[in-house]
Chains A and B, each alone.
Chain A
């Protein structure tokens, strides 16, 4: 019990101590609580940070892997295109080289063929030369012809002049004006005069008609001559002397129309034409195209009798023997009728033949 007592004795102490302790504990409790919170927050913070850090780390890993993958993919694409471009550029360059060579060749060969062009120009040059030469020759020839013509013209003119002035020719007694005795040789005209034939009266008076085709009346009358005025009919003059016919009758005779004979009038082929016409008519009037044929059986049994003409012996009696002793006269036979042309002309000419007085 002692013990109990002993123990009981301890109770107040203990109580005081407890109270003290409790008070102390109560004093420190907020502090300790704060400390505990601090510690816990630190610890929890550490833990969460560690967790987050690990999360970040993992995310980084994921991201870097992904991004790496994507970028590598992209890079590969880029390389591919770059390679492709490189290749294409190369090919293009090569194509240009080929095309340029080909085009150059083609153009030189077929389009702007310098050689052929030069050849062409050379040919043109030659052609020009030839043309120039030919034209030169042509013009020379023309010139010569013209000169020749001119000379001939002059000659003709001089000859005509000589014929006109033929009366100036020198005679045996008197020297002409072209044959001066003071000169050594006579003039050239003198020989011309000697050769020339004088103009006759008709030639002297006919004027040359040089109005051929020219109708330019505006210039002058020389090229255009009006028709000469017909003289008026004579007024009240007596009939001229002499056995002249009436003018009207003469004119009628002069301007009578052409009257050809029947023979001249008809065509030379008229007979043939008439025959053809007849035949044509016959043909058109035919009933049947087949002509009637003779009966061949009719004279089948008759004997053939030759004709008289073919059977006569010519030697025995000549049909053409001439018996001159039977002739009445020695003259030829003459018709008594007037020939037909006479009747044609009857009464149409001046001739009075055949008129009944």
Chain B
């Protein structure tokens, strides 16, 4: 009887620990409880529970800690300060899979917040154990380890390098080939985080043979996996021409274009980013994309979505058009200009407008044909208004001005230029008048039209400093017309006529 009593005490104690631990873990799920928990000194209470004799309590304690650390920076800091990490890392290698998952979750939650915290995790020697966890049988353990590694690698190049040095990349590549979708997803995202920092890191990822596996998964029906895969590919391709070519050699075109039609917005965005990162390197790569019909797909994609998802597509059009005039013409032929004009008009956000303006500038700067195509989309007045608008961001103003200048210097399509005569500031007007002065001496019809549309009158009203470029242009235009016409349209001509009437003495 006495033995039973003694044991009952222990049983109660264990039950109490278990239930309290689980309750804390559940409470930590809700943000509103976290502060109370923190004030109650939850950290110092949970720490000894990590060393409990019962595995379940250890796991639950780790889970609660992880949730708390996940919540904010201060709590993560508290975990680091509380010397909990070495303990976790130590037991990460020893314990069962549930505990491994929970411990990896804590590490991930701590590393998530800042490079400083991630460095603290690395300093505890977590990388080696996490890499060992990547070799575990249980996909859940692999997944959480990969996730933690990804959060560590995401901050900067040094941390990424540390992850690579721990030998994680080949194992991550193996993880991609596992059948579990969730594991694939996390592994792909980790590879993306590793390769985003520098070309060396990306090269390491490529050397592990990841591209072929990633490229295979482009057609996977799972959308979240597709997002990560495409993001990883674009992070690899963005660094250098060689890497971009390697990505292209995995025969992702034209399969990847199907992802532009996906229902998921982020899949679209990442696909457009991937295409952009490939197209920006050389004219040849851009040509390859154009030949695969990528431009039309991207333009359709821009048309089918809104906001930030458009941005990479818009930039891709700009990059392609910037390479050569033929590529710019291909963009025009694929009806890219009207779409960009819509983006310029509809998007409320300034950076997207700025990107559209930049892309249009890149398309229109090559030859008069290009400029004409851009001008026909009625882009110039809008660019001007964006440039003049005081509410536009500085970047948008600069981009709009540059684009206007680029297009105007090539534009010979006078009907599009005429509205600009009336409301352009002098620094833009200079280019507009310059274009008129280049065209009018050689085109009689245009001269006539210029007078009837009131352009000449406007020209006479411009007050230019004598000797300036603008004055020269005005003189050139005036020289194309008879003197009487010029005088007739000069401001104050009627006044002088009336004065002459007054002064005239009739001869009787």
The chain A residues found within 8 Å of chain B, CB to CB, are 117, 120-121, 124-125, 127-132, 135-136, 138-139, 142, 146, 212-215, 217-221, 226-227, 229, 232, 235-236
Contact = CB atoms under 8 A, between A and B. Distances in A.
14 contacts: A121-B333, A124-B293, A127-B292, A131-B294, A131-B297, A138-B261, A142-B263, A217-B63, A218-B70, A226-B60, A229-B18, A229-B56, A232-B14, A235-B3
A227 B56 contact: yes
B258 A121 contact: no
B272 to A, nearest CB: 14
Interface string B362-381: 00000000000000000000
Contact of A135 (B56, B70, B297): B297
Given A128-B293, A213-B182, A236 B257 contact: no
Contacts of B292: 127, 131
Given A129-B296, A215-B101, A215-B182, 9 more contacts: A117-B326, A124-B293, A128-B293, A131-B297, A132-B300, A213-B182, A226-B59, A232-B14, A236-B7
Contacts of B79: none
Contacts of B489: none
Contacts of B257: 131, 135
Interface string B132-169: 00000001100110010000000000000000000000
A132 B304 CA distance: 13
| Residue among B59, B70, B143, B261 facing the most chain A CB atoms (10 A cut-off) | B261
Nearest to B147: A215
A349 to B, nearest CB: 32
Nearest to B260: A135
B7 A124 contact: no
Interface in B308-364: 326, 329-330, 333-334
Nearest to B98: A227
B4 interface: yes
B29 A220 contact: yes
A146 B98 CA distance: 35
B34 to A, nearest CB: 12
B180 interface: yes
B242 interface: no
Nearest to B180: A213
Nearest to A232: B11
A146 B144 CA distance: 30
Contacts of A142: 261-263
Contacts of A124: 290-291, 293, 295, 330, 333-334
Interface in B5-26: 7-8, 11, 14, 18, 22, 25-26
What 10 pairs between A and B have smallest CB-CB spacing? A131-B293, A128-B296, A213-B182, A236-B4, A139-B261, A235-B7, A127-B293, A218-B70, A213-B180, A215-B144
B183 interface: yes
A219 B300 CA distance: 36
Interface of B: 1, 3-4, 7-8, 11, 14, 18, 22, 25-26, 29, 56, 59-60, 63, 66-67, 70, 98, 101-102, 105, 109, 139-140, 143-144, 147, 180-183, 254, 257-258, 260-263, 290-297, 300, 326, 329-330, 333-334
Contacts of B334: 124-125, 128
B383 to A, nearest CB: 26
A136 B297 CA distance: 10
Given A132-B300, A236-B7, A217 B101 contact: yes
Contacts of B262: 142
A136 B330 CA distance: 21
Contacts of B105: 215, 217-218
A3 B296 CA distance: 167
Contacts of A219: 29
A131 B56 contact: no
B7 A213 contact: no
A231 to B, nearest CB: 10
A221 B29 contact: yes
B313 to A, nearest CB: 14
B261 A218 contact: no
Nearest to B296: A128
Nearest to A211: B140
Given A121-B329, A135-B260, A139-B261, A217 B67 contact: yes
A217 B102 contact: yes
A125 B333 contact: yes
A221 B26 contact: yes
A111 to B, nearest CB: 12
Nearest to B261: A139
Contacts of A125: 333-334
A259 to B, nearest CB: 25
B403 to A, nearest CB: 23
A131 to B, nearest CB: 3
Contact of A132 (B18, B258, B297): B297
A247 to B, nearest CB: 17
B373 to A, nearest CB: 12
B297 A213 contact: no
Contact of B143 (A120, A121, A129, A215): A215
A89 B157 CA distance: 68
Contacts of B147: 215
A226 B139 CA distance: 16
Nearest to B144: A215
Contacts of B333: 121, 124-125, 128
B68 to A, nearest CB: 10
Nearest to B335: A128
Nearest to A230: B56
